[in-house]
Amino acid sequence: MKNFLWDLLKYIPNKIIPALLGFLTLPILTRIFSTEDFGEYSLCLATISVLTILVTWVNQSNIRFFHHYDALGQKDDFIINNLILGLISIVLASAFYLVILLLFKNNISQSFFHLLLITCANFILLSTFLLLQNFLRIQSKVLTFSTYTVLNKIIAFFTGLALVYLYSRDISMMLWGAVISQVILLPIVFRSAIELKTFKFILSKPISKQLFSYGLPLVISNIAAWVLTLSSRYQLSIIRSNEDVGIYSAGTSVSDHSILLISQLILLAAYPIGVKIFENKGEKAAALFEQRVTGIFLCLSLPAVIGFITVSKLFFRVFMGVEFYQGFVIIPFVVFGSFFFGLQQRFQSGLLYKKQTKYITRSTVIAAITNIITNYFLISYFGYIGAAIGNCFSYLILLILVIIYSNKFFHWRFPFEIMIISLFGSGIMSLSIIAFDNISINSQILKLILEIIIAVFVYSTTVYVLIPKRIINTYKETFK
């Protein structure tokens, strides 16, 4: 757990700085571009996500088996094998995408087609960047990993913004900014991530077979996860309009840079360490590790969920353009959906330790199908609000299924006591924000900052007073 806490702290810049940039991006982009332009941009980002999902099975397999082959003295062969499989996957995914794009060229506008072509270049470079960067993560080069993530986000954002103001006020400039950033960083990341004593450019059949058997079921799971997470944007575009996509995407971006940030940060730090504990110390030690990590997740995520719901209206007034303001109504569904998704990751770890990825796939596929069906009806009647409700419900279904399957293979005690204390503290925090909100302050930004400070103070104090000393002592002992 001490290693987890240290890695968690080192991963914070990797997530916090991009999240802050994300919040900075929202008021700028939602004021420069229309809801339709922002909707098309969001569809491009969603497309990059689904293409990336087709190739990330290599990275997931890499994390699971790297230490195994390192112990066998086959690290170089394993790294080369992963690079070859990763690059092949990227080429095949890109070719598939371009064929589909050309087939549907006449069904989309010329400007959107141009955006989707830039999207392909963005995907190729980003996937290669992530493939290389993943080797830094599994070798515990956390600070280097975080540095490159942050640099990529900063360079992409400011380059795109410069192109918007100096060259053309077109949303495609933001995509070009990302392309330029990755071109600059790829050679540097390669030199940092890949260290080989010997170089044999061949595929190992035994290694490839093990990677395929573990990773390929995750492709289906990852595609289903994309359907669950991002397909609602396409359904909104087809059933309603790109304007609805823009408002919905702006609302979900708030969750992506807050609640999902917490779960991703914990997942980044916890999973590689959890695998090491499971492999070296056994199932009981891994179960205790998951219990502790889940307690931390609950203490961080529950106040974030309740807090964001409480300040959502003020937040949208401060950060969103006028056309996007009405999107604040979806925040309760969006943030609770993100919480359900983050919590299922904690239960999913046991299935990954036990190499039972087929159950993750099964759960995600069922939740994705549920999402498509519920969204079809809800979007037809309620637009982007219906999409938010449908997604939240589908995440809840995913959580329930993963809990059921996980308990069959991997048992650990859920920290109910910590959850109850955190919920109570979040409730007191919310009431204090509501009380303060009645005070008249001219500056909306100042009011939001003060509400956040009050929220942190009230929640921290309440939890510290209520949490039993035995739990505090347990965590102190764990982190020694």
- Tell me: the pLDDT tens digits for 380-417? 888 889 999 999 999 999 999 999 998 888 888 898 99
Assess whether 478 and 398 both reside in one domain.
no
Has residue 6 got a pLDDT over 60? Answer: no
pLDDT band at 431 (very low <50, low <70, confident <90, very high): very high
Has residue 356 got a pLDDT over 90? Answer: no
Question: 45 or 15, which is more confident?
Answer: 45
pLDDT reported for residue 133: 83
pLDDT band at 348 (very low <50, low <70, confident <90, very high): confident
pLDDT reported for residue 44: 87
Has residue 425 got a pLDDT over 80? Answer: yes
Has residue 8 got a pLDDT over 60? Answer: no
Assess whether 375 and 466 both reside in one domain.
no
CA 200 vs CA 76, 82, 240: distances in Å: 9, 13, 53
Has residue 47 got a pLDDT over 90? Answer: no
Q: Are 75 and 196 in contact (CB under 8 A)?
A: no
Question: 63 or 372, which is more confident?
Answer: 372
The residues near 91 (Cβ < 8 Å, ≥ 6 apart) are: none
pLDDT band at 453 (very low <50, low <70, confident <90, very high): very high
CA 125 vs CA 51, 90, 96, 144: distances in Å: 12, 9, 16, 19
Q: Return the structure tokens found at 410.
A: 């991997």
pLDDT in tens, 151-186: 888 899 889 989 988 888 888 899 999 999 999 999
Assess whether 358 and 388 both reside in one domain.
yes
What's the rounded Cα separation, in Å, for the pair 393 and 344?
A: 14
> What is the arithmetic mean of pLDDT over 337-351?
88
Q: Are 287 and 412 in contact (CB under 8 A)?
A: yes
pLDDT reported for residue 352: 80
What's the rounded Cα separation, in Å, for the pair 151 and 136?
A: 15
Residue closest to 27 by CA, chosen among 319, 323, 449, 448:
319
Has residue 200 got a pLDDT over 70? Answer: no
Assess whether 121 and 187 both reside in one domain.
yes
What's the rounded Cα separation, in Å, for the pair 378 and 380?
A: 5
Looking at mean pLDDT, say which of 60-64, 197-201, 319-323, 414-418 comes out highest: 414-418
Assess whether 467 and 361 both reside in one domain.
no
pLDDT reported for residue 10: 58
pLDDT reported for residue 9: 57
Has residue 54 got a pLDDT over 90? Answer: no
The chain-wide mean pLDDT, for the chain, equals: 82
Given 369, 384, 414, the domain boundary residue is 414
pLDDT reported for residue 75: 72
Q: Which domain holds residue 32?
A: 2-414
Q: Are 189 and 148 in contact (CB under 8 A)?
A: yes
Based on C-alpha coordinates, what's the Rg of the chain? 22
What 3 state SS string does the chain have?
Answer: CHHHHHHHHHHHHHHHHHHHHHHHHHHHHHHHCCHHHHHHHHHHHHHHHHHHHCCCHHHHHHHHHHHHHHHCCCHHHHHHHHHHHHHHHHHHHHHHHHHHHHHCHHHCCHHHHHHHHHHHHHHHHHHHHHHHHHHHHHCCCHHHHHHHHHHHHHHHHHHHHHHHHHCCCCCHHHHHHHHHHHHHHHHHHHHHHCCCCCCCCCCCHHHHHHHHHHHHHHHHHHHHHHHHHHHHHHHHHHHCCHHHHHHHHHHHHHHHCCHHHHHHHHHHHHHHHHHHHHHHHCHHHHHHHHHHHHHHHHHHHHHHHHHHHHHHHHHHHHHCCHHHHHHHHHHHHHHHHHHHHHHHHHHHHHHHHCCCHHHHHHHHHHHHHHHHHHHHHHHHHHCHHHHHHHHHHHHHHHHHHHHHHHHHHCCCCCCHHHHHHHHHHHHHHHHHHHHHHCCCCCCHHHHHHHHHHHHHHHHHHHHHHHCCHHHHHHHHHHCC
Side-chain-side CA neighbours of residue 274 (13 Å): 29
Given 395, 414, 433, the domain boundary residue is 414
What's the rounded Cα separation, in Å, for the pair 128 and 338?
A: 27
> What is the arithmetic mean of pLDDT over 331-352?
88
Has residue 281 got a pLDDT over 60? Answer: yes
Least reliable range by pLDDT among 104-118, 211-225, 295-309, 391-405: 211-225
Assess whether 98 and 214 both reside in one domain.
yes
Assess whether 275 and 423 both reside in one domain.
no
Assess whether 392 and 421 both reside in one domain.
no
Assess whether 218 and 295 both reside in one domain.
yes
* Distance, C-alpha 438 to centroid of its chain: 35
> What is the arithmetic mean of pLDDT over 321-342?
85
Q: Above pLDDT 70, what percent of the chain?
A: 88
pLDDT reported for residue 95: 93
Q: Count of domains in the chain?
A: 2
Residue closest to 50 by CA, chosen among 176, 227, 308, 194:
227
What's the rounded Cα separation, in Å, for the pair 426 and 225?
A: 29
Assess whether 402 and 439 both reside in one domain.
no
pLDDT reported for residue 199: 62
Residue closest to 391 by CA, chosen among 228, 220, 182:
228
Looking at mean pLDDT, say which of 105-109, 169-173, 273-277, 427-431 comes out highest: 427-431
Question: 228 or 440, which is more confident?
Answer: 440
Q: Above pLDDT 90, what percent of the chain?
A: 21
Assess whether 34 and 141 both reside in one domain.
yes
Has residue 372 got a pLDDT over 70? Answer: yes
Assess whether 38 and 73 both reside in one domain.
yes
pLDDT reported for residue 340: 93
Has residue 193 got a pLDDT over 60? Answer: yes
pTM of this structure = 0.72
Has residue 365 got a pLDDT over 90? Answer: no
pLDDT reported for residue 7: 55
Given 384, 414, 444, the domain boundary residue is 414
What's the rounded Cα separation, in Å, for the pair 266 and 289?
A: 12
pLDDT band at 3 (very low <50, low <70, confident <90, very high): low
pLDDT reported for residue 201: 66
Has residue 122 got a pLDDT over 90? Answer: yes
